């Protein structure tokens, strides 16, 4: 690091971030699912763009923290019409990325195939993933389990947010 860079912020995740990660880019991926969300939900976008500041606080120099926001207004159901996600995968595969920031891991992909492709590439190229809850190393068994659950949630978030109803004793059904 140069003299003008802030020192890495200590914290509960500092032990996961190594010099091999900081020697590469910290990519911030920003996406909202529809043009309506882009126009009406500026707070969400602002929160996602603030992840750039978090990367700097964790030790990356500002010029080494690109933001990929090419997929604004694009559904995460498929990689097909998401040039930003395709670019992210390419940068990870080329070994250019040390960490990927997303507001929620569920924003990165809404299909199991795309999510697990990202996880496999990140594990292979020793790339960390970070969201509002933490920093994850997909090579670590516990982090991989948690990332798998986050990915599972992302595939069908509405199903997981439904209230669990107690059995109805009058219906005869559990």
Active site residue 33: yes
Q: Is the model's pLDDT at 158 over the cut of 70?
A: no
Name the maximum alpha-carbon separation found in the chain: 72
Which whole number is the average pLDDT over 5-20? 72
CB atoms within 10 A of CB 142: 9
pLDDT of residue 156: 53
**Half-sphere exposure at residue 155, Cβ-oriented, CA atoms within 13 angstroms:** 11
Separation of alpha carbons 141 and 119, rounded Å: 12
pLDDT of residue 165: 43
How much is the pTM? 0.78
pLDDT of residue 76: 64
Domain 15-155 has CATH 3.40.50.261: no
Listing from the earlier edge strand, what are the strands of the sheet with 134-136?
67-68, 25-29, 97-101, 128-131, 134-136
Kindly indicate the confidence band of residue 120, based on its pLDDT and cuts at 50, 70 and 90.
very high
Give residue limits of the domains in the chain: 15-155
Kindly indicate the confidence band of residue 166, based on its pLDDT and cuts at 50, 70 and 90.
very low
pLDDT of residue 3: 43
Separation of alpha carbons 111 and 90, rounded Å: 18
Contact yes or no for 48/33 (Cβ under 8 A): no
Kindly indicate the confidence band of residue 33, based on its pLDDT and cuts at 50, 70 and 90.
low
Q: Which candidate in 33, 44, 75, 78 is catalytic?
A: 33
101 versus 37: the higher-pLDDT residue is 101
């Amino acid at each position: 690091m140069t003299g003008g860079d802030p020192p890495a912020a200590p914290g509960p995740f500092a032990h996961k971030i190594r010099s091999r990660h900081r020697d590469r880019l910290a990519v911030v991926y920003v996406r909202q699912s529809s043009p309506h969300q882009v126009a009406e939900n500026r707070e969400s976008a602002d929160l996602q763009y603030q992840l750039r500041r978090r990367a700097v606080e964790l030790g990356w120099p500002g010029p080494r923290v690109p933001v990929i926001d090419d997929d604004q207004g694009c559904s995460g159901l498929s990689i097909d019409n998401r040039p930003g996600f395709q670019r992210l995968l390419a940068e990870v595969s080329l070994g250019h990325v040390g960490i990927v920031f997303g507001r929620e891991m569920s924003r990165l992909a809404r299909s199991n195939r795309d999510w697990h492709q990202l996880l496999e590439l990140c594990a292979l190229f020793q790339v960390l993933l970070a969201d509002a809850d933490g920093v994850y190393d997909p090579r670590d068994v516990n982090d991989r389990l948690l990332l798998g659950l986050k990915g599972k949630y992302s595939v069908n978030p509405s199903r997981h947010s439904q209230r669990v109803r107690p059995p109805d004793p009058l219906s005869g059904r559990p």
